[in-house]
Structure 1
Amino acid sequence: MSRFKRADKVDSLAGFRAEKIEPTIPHGLLNAARKSGQLNLSGRGLTEVPQNVYRLNVDTPEEAKQNVSFGASDRWWEQTDLTKLLLSSNQLTQLSDDIRLLPGLSTLDLHDNQLSSLPSALGELQELQQLRLSHNQLRSLPVEVYTLKNLRSLTLQQNLLESLPEELGQLENLTELDLSNNQLTSLPSTLGRLTCLQKLHLCHNKLSCLPDSLTQLTNVKLLDCSNNQLTDIPASLSEMLALEQLYLRHNKLRLLPQLPAPALKELYVGNNQIEQLETEQLASLTVISLLELRDNKIKTLPDQITLLSTLTRLDLTNNDITTLPASLSLLPNLKMLLLEGNPLRGIRRDLLTKGTNELLKYLKGRIKEEPERADEGPTAMTLPSQARVNVHNIKTLKSLMYRNNQLNDLPSEMRNLTKLRSIILNYNRFKSFPEVLYQIVSLDTVLLGNNQVGVLDPSRLMKLVHLSTLDLSNNDLLNIPPELGLCVSLRCLSLEGNPFRTPRAAIVAKGTDAVLEYLRGRIPTSAPLP
């Protein structure tokens, strides 16, 4: 009987159970890593990194201890130092200080784990160029990480970072920094020291403003600040001379940023609170190709939309636009116009479904004040390019465009265009500021870029009291008259691409206000003020 009682205590399933064994690394994989210098352990369910991985370049392989002979391809003593270690998509909760045993690492991928801290020993990996730490639970980094002078790429998206130390500025060779999807409320002022940066991702944080030092990042091509709490974008951002793509979606902007950044081609400002588009802001976007304004509160488009001559795609989806200006059809490069979700009136629904080309044709047909055909008789105003315009039919015109012709002068009859606000004369052959324009006091925008202008009269320019935008880029100006600084109505002055020596390029890059202030400072004290 006692025999059966003892049997009751025996685990009848013991033979089928096995202890939970930590996943091991196949022997062949480690041997291959010794030859290639690369070890991919992604997605293996690891809860910790096995010791034989850390000691890969330290310990003698088991085969050597067994006194076996080696072929030429298996000489363990000729092994390559490990340079690339991929540990992504595991269940790692910590990394051992033994990571210092792999000083040759140039790439360390730890993304998609459960790390809440990192060892200070990471600072000893001075060859490290790529450090991938996204999708973890990090609240901070050990200060030693900021001593990695060779680091080129640091990805930290989807963590729990609330702040970053000033030591961040020590990573002066970074070309890519991804801080998206964290809890950042501010950025360190030393961010501006990362002058090699080309891509900076700041989206999905809690930023309410951008640091002034951002303007020092003159090599950044892509800046993503979407999904933050920004209410304003400083105009000084235009000093980011290489900036091509700027993402500002899902913020609290009420105005389109005024950013005469010389390389800005794509601007995304969807899902904000923008209600109107100002001439100054539009005029500053001199090379814009894509402008996304969807999901805002825009009610009207100004005639000055024609200033965006390089625009190829305009997204106005889900706004409050009821009418479209016919001048929209004058955008020479526009290929895609998105208008769905607007309460448009006067335009048939079927026309909207036919696509951009048909819509632009319809708008062009609504332009009443357009040049007459060349085969018509002489008129009151004939331009040197042989384009004939009946001045009596265009007296009410607010915008006039003669881009990419061979004009070198304008007829004096144009002084009768008393309502003209915007004139676009880019890519012609003007050698001086057109005489008649000094007499059209209603002008607020004059675009004369890419001509041969070498002379302008600031004393007469001052009489254009509404002039806010003046584009003289890519002309032949050998000097800029200091008196131009007295044109206090100017909000956007473009002078890039001229052969003058002063003001210096660094001052020009700071924007219109800085240029005007500089010019005023060079006016002789005896000069009469207006």
Structure 2
Amino acid sequence: MELIKLARKSGQLNLTGRGMIDVPDQVWNINILTDDERRGLSLSLDQCDGDRWWDQADLTKLYLSSNKLSSLSPDIEKLQALTILELNDNDLASLPDTIGNLRQLSKLNISRNKIEKLPNSFFQLKELRQLIAHHNAISELSDDIGNLSFLEMMDLSHNKLTSLPAMIGFLSRVTNLNLSYNKLSELPPEIGSMNALQILDVSSNHLQSLPEPVGSLCHLEQLFAQQNDLTALPPFAGCARLKELHVGNNAIEEFPIEVIETLLGLRTLDLKCNKLSHLSPDITMIQGLERLDLSNNNLASLPYELGTLVHLKGLGVEGNPLRAIRRDIVKRGTVHLLKWLQDRLGESPESAANKRLSGGAGLNDGSDLAESIEKFALKTTHALELSKRSLHDVPEEIFRMAAECDASTIDLSKNALESVPKGLEIACPVMTELNLGFNKLSSLPGFLCLATRLTFLDLRNNQLSDLPMEMSTLSSVREVNLSFNRFSRIPEVVTSWETLEILFASDNKIEQLDLAELQKLKRIAVLDLRNNSILQVPPELGNMRQLRNLQLEGNLFRNPRPAILSKGTPALLEFLRDRIPR
């Protein structure tokens, strides 16, 4: 009885671990006085001590975890103000239909029960932010799961799910999704529309592949897909923030450059217990790699280039049939193994060659730079990687060599270029990807119009204020990054690229959105305009329903308000459509 009195004052009731088989009816009627309470009630407004019935608070938090509850009374609907309900560690086989009437509920913990199905009314909980339902027996999810539009975290691990509804793609605010330890054989492509996802755990299922749209989750930081039946991985071209990739205990046979080149920001890569028989030297493109687990594969050798990964703190290679590396070298640990690999390259990290590559003497000597580029690697990778070399220019012979080797990827990022090297014109006809980010460019040359096969263009962190109209010939461009420049508007040539799907233009000086120009981009799916000076958002932008990710935070307009922006792209587009004059 004392707990009830305290709960009336605080709005919280904690009945955790009390061995209850049923919840007392008094809990559901907590704000209704019993006959004894009414008889003893003092109506004196001057009374300072005792209970004041007029000061009662609605119950907002109810903790019933770690009991022996096998059912929950339908009367729970009487607790209309409830925001947090914890029912974990009980014996519940179901939830009452009336639970859908708890319209203020934001957190529900039903983990470690015996629940097989969520009632249809459950999907009326429009304010729900957290659903914790691991360790149950849930075998299916209703299509109505998409109605939980404010959901931010969902843990359905350790259940019996065999499939997921396509409507899960409407959960555009979920940042953490745990589906591990289920019976999933595939993921719906619509999961790629969950643009807010930062952590995705699908480990310990029966997945044979990951849908390609997973590679477009632009906020994804951690992906756990170990202990499945994966034989290959899709490219992760849209996952620029991905830091951890865990795909151990699968059946992956190769880790090709098409995947590697989309994972350049990785810190942790777990490939243990797969079927890899070869590891490409291209793995060193992931320069910030700190942990790499290759143990228990079929590798007979390691690329010596691994020794150049200066940030690598943990390298696991045990359980491979390595022929060229003695067992005692492996047992000495990562530091000794990397040193051994470095020595096989024939030079130490402080050698003259490495000094040239890092910006020391001889940097601008064309012959020295040409010598540092292996023609065999160019032919194998079809990529000219010249980033982080403090270059002020690049000799024509380098680009001629690249063209001869059909180098489709050119990376000149993170140098000191004030103008685009003239020799790049030679490589334009075969070029599909060009990275000029993090330089000092104030303009681009017209000869880039020759790069008609270009699909990816990175110009971020320069001093650009416009792009030449000659580039309108680029009819295959799919992704462009213009962030951190000096654009006052979206360049006209950009909206002429009808194939464009992803446009990053954050952190510029854009003041106005030209709706007519933007509407030319029929395939645009990601539009990032954060941190500009936009004064007004045209409501008709809401009609661009192909947008899966629209970012407008950090601008000068008052509407849409931050609360609307935070709801995600579908809600934002709907808000804009509602403001179109009728």
Q: Is TM (by shorter chain) over 0.5? A: yes
Task: Choose the corresponding residue for 2:414, options 427, 431, 452.
Answer: 427
- Letter of the structure 2 residue corresponding to residue 279 of structure 1: I
Residues of 1 paired with 2:432 and 2:468: CA distance?
24
Partners of 1:62 and 1:258 in 2: CA distance: 69
Change (3 A) 1:328 1:86: same
String of CA shifts for 1:254-280, please: whole Å, max 9, x gaps: 113211112211111111111111111
Larger CA deviation: 249-258 vs 86-95: 249-258
User: 1:528 aligns to what?
Assistant: none
Q: Secondary structure at the match of 1:72?
A: coil
SS in 2 for 1:398: helix
Residues 398-433 of structure 1 show CA distances to partners (whole Å, capped at 9, x for unaligned) of 167543232132223434576696875330133326
Q: 131-140 or 73-82: which moved more?
A: 73-82
Q: Does 1:262 align with 2:240?
A: yes
3-state secondary structure, aligned to 1:310: coil
Change beyond 3 A, Cα 1:398–1:46: same
Change (3 A) 1:506 1:356: farther
Pairing 1:342–2:320 present: yes
Following the alignment from structure 2 to structure 1, what is the Cα–Cα distance between the partners of residues 117 and 70? Answer: 15
Flag structure 1 segments of 5+ consecutive residues without an equivalent: 1-26, 520-530
Q: Which residue of 2 aligns with 1:438?
A: 426
Q: Which residue of 2 aligns with 1:236?
A: 213
Cα deviation for residue 357 of structure 1 reads 2.6
CA contact (8 A) 2:177 2:201 kept: yes
* Paired AA for residue 387 in structure 2: R
The alpha-carbon distance between structure 1 residues 235 and 92, as it changes in their structure 2 partners (threshold 3 A), is same
The TM-score, its normalising length taken from structure 1, stands at 0.79
**1: distance between equivalents of 2:500 and 2:476?**
17
Q: Does residue 407 of the first structure (1) align with residue 391 of the second (2)?
A: yes
User: Is residue 425–residue 448 contact of structure 2 (8 Å, CA) maintained in 1?
Assistant: no
Partner of 1:56: 30
Indicate yes or no: 2:21 matched with 1:33. no
Alignment counterpart, residue 368 of structure 2, candidates 362, 373, 389 = 389
The SS at the match of 1:246 is strand
CA distance in 2, matches of 1:310, 1:456: 34
The code of the aligned residue for 1:238 comes to G
| Other-structure match for 1:367 | 345
What is the Cα deviation at residue 496 of structure 1? 5.8
Distance 1:243 1:404, change over 3 A: same
- Report the aligned-residue RMSD: 3.8
TM-score scaled by structure 2? 0.72
Q: Which moved more, 1:58-67 or 1:382-391?
A: 382-391
- Summarize the Cα distance change of 1:193–1:302 in structure 2 as closer, same or farther, 3 Å threshold: same
Instruction: Tell me, yes or no, if the aligned pair for 1:238 and 1:510 is still in contact at 8 Å.
Output: no
The one of 292, 301, 314 equivalent to 2:292 is 314
Compare 411-420 and 314-323 and name the one that shifted more. Answer: 411-420
SS at match of 1:281: helix
TM-aligned CA deviation for residue 86 of structure 1: 0.9
**1:127–1:150 CA contact under 8 A, matched in 2:** yes
Matched, 1:509 2:509: no
Structure with max Cα Rg: 1
Aligned 8 A contact 1:280 1:469 in 2: no
Query: How much identity, in percent, do the aligned residues show?
Result: 37
Asked if 1:142 is matched to 2:119, the reply is: yes
Deviation, 1:507, is 4.3
Single out whichever of 304-313 and 437-446 deviates more from structure 2: 437-446
List per-residue Cα deviations over 1:224-264 (Å, max 9, x = no partner): 11122222222222332211111111122111321111221
Quote the Cα distance in structure 1 between the aligned partners of 2:500 and 2:450: 25
Is residue 49 of structure 2 the alignment partner of residue 65 of structure 1? no
In structure 2, the gaps of 5 or more residues are 379-383, 505-519, 525-582
Q: How does 1:91-110 map to 2 (within 5 A)?
A: 91-110=68-87
Shift of 1:375: 13
Corresponding position of 2:303: 325
Task: Identify if the C-alpha distance between structure 1 residues 73 and 286 changes in structure 2 by more than 3 Å, giving closer, same or farther.
Answer: farther
Check conservation: 2:446, 2:468, Cα contact below 8 A: no
1:387: how far off?
Answer: 9.1
* Separation in structure 2 between the aligned mates of residue 389 and residue 372 of structure 1, nearest angstrom: 14
**Given the superposition, is the C-alpha separation of residues 395 and 244 from structure 1 closer, same or farther in structure 2, using an over 3 Å criterion?**
closer
- Structure 1 Cα separation of the partners of residues 354 and 94 of structure 2: 79
2: CA distance, partners of 1:350 / 1:375: 28
SS of the residue corresponding to residue 284 of structure 1 reads coil
Decide whether aligned partners of structure 1 residues 304 and 471 sit closer, same or farther in structure 2, where only a CA change above 3 A counts. farther
Give yes or no for contact 2:301–2:323 (8 Å, CA) kept in 1: yes
User: Aligned ranges for residues 406-485 of structure 1 at < 5 Å?
Assistant: 406-414=390-398, 415=400, 425-430=412-417, 431-432=419-420, 435=423, 438=426, 448-452=436-440, 454-455=444-445, 457=447, 461=451, 474=461, 476=464, 478=467, 481-485=471-475
- Structure 2 match to 1:195: 172
C-alpha contact 2:479 2:502 (8 A) present in aligned 1: no
Distance 2:139 2:33 in 1: 40
* 1:443 to 1:509, Cα distance in 2 relative to 1, 3 A: closer
How far 1:301 sits from its partner (Å)? Answer: 1.2
CA contact (8 A) 2:189 2:212 kept: no
Mapped contact 1:449–1:472 kept (Cα < 8 A): yes
Q: Mark the CA change 1:45 to 1:506 in structure 2 (over 3 Å): closer, same or farther.
A: farther
CA shift, 1:72, in A, is: 3.1
